[in-house]
């Protein structure tokens, strides 16, 4: 079963609202690094980075983490490992970790573990486009675009098209 639950203009509103919450938080932009979680968080982090840059005029650092080696819910041989892209020092920095959807919290836990391998940030805040609930570990986003309730038998996929458009689909597992 596939279903679109938000139209593009609704989603653009979700993204704009999330970016506004992040900007309102008043990060020290000179100390901020926006980090997307591969795969889904890459496009989301790029959009948020552009919105922060456009609104504040400041081009903060942008990086990406690959959680493949840090997953705790798959013990089979790991598939292709992409690469974490943090070509700068993260020690003492404020990290805004970005993902498209949060459910169990395991992906975020793995991303934090990967980040810690690169240094000791001053702080890590979490921004997600969609919070579908269902935590298995105690991780809660600091910034949420939209909270939705979806039965566990469904998976939420976010597809970002262009800079400000995405279609969210529910796919039966």
**pLDDT by residue (tens digit) across 92-107?**
999 999 999 999 999 9
Number of H helices, E strands in the chain: 3, 7
- Yes or no: say if 148 and 132 are a contact pair by the CB < 8 Å rule: yes
Is residue 70 predicted with pLDDT exceeding 80?
no
pLDDT at 172 over 50: no
Beta-bridge partner residues of 155: 171
Helix pair angle (40-56, 8-24), 10° resolution: 60
Nearest to 15 by CA among 143, 137, 122, 121: 143
- Residue-wise pLDDT for 1-46, tens only, equals 455 566 777 888 888 999 999 999 989 999 999 999 998 899 999 9
For 3, the 3-state DSSP assignment is: coil
Mean pLDDT of 153-171: 53
pLDDT in tens, 74-85: 555 455 556 888
Contact (Cβ atoms closer than 8 angstroms) between residue 137 and residue 121: no
Q: In this structure, are strands 32-37 and 94-102 parallel, antiparallel, or unpaired? A: parallel
Contact in structure between 78 and 65 (CB atoms under 8 Å): no
pLDDT of residue 82: 61
Please name the residues in contact with 70: beta carbons below 8 A apart, sequence gap of 6 or more: 109, 110, 111, 113, 114
Give the chain's domains with CATH numbers: 8-172 (3.40.50.2020)
Question: ∠ at Cα 110 (105, 114), nearest 5°?
Answer: 145
The answer to whether the CB of 131 falls within 8 A of the CB of 105 is no
């Amino acid at each position: 079963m596939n279903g679109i639950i938000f139209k593009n203009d609704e989603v653009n509103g979700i993204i704009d609202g999330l970016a506004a919450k992040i900007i309102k938080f008043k990060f020290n932009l000179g100390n901020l690094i926006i980090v997307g979680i591969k795969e889904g968080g890459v496009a989301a982090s790029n959009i948020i980075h552009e919105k922060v840059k456009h609104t504040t005029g400041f081009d903060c650092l942008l990086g990406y983490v690959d959680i493949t080696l840090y997953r705790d819910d798959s013990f089979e041989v790991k598939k292709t490992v992409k690469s974490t892209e943090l070509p700068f020092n993260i020690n003492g920095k404020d990290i805004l970790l970005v993902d498209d959807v949060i459910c169990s919290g395991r992906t975020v836990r793995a991303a934090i573990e990967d980040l810690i391998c690169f240094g000791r940030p001053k702080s890590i805040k979490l921004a997600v486009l969609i919070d579908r609930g269902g935590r298995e570990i105690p991780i809660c986003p600091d910034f949420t675009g939209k909270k939705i309730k979806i039965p566990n038998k469904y998976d939420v996929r976010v597809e970002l098209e262009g800079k400000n458009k995405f279609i969210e689909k529910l796919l039966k597992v």
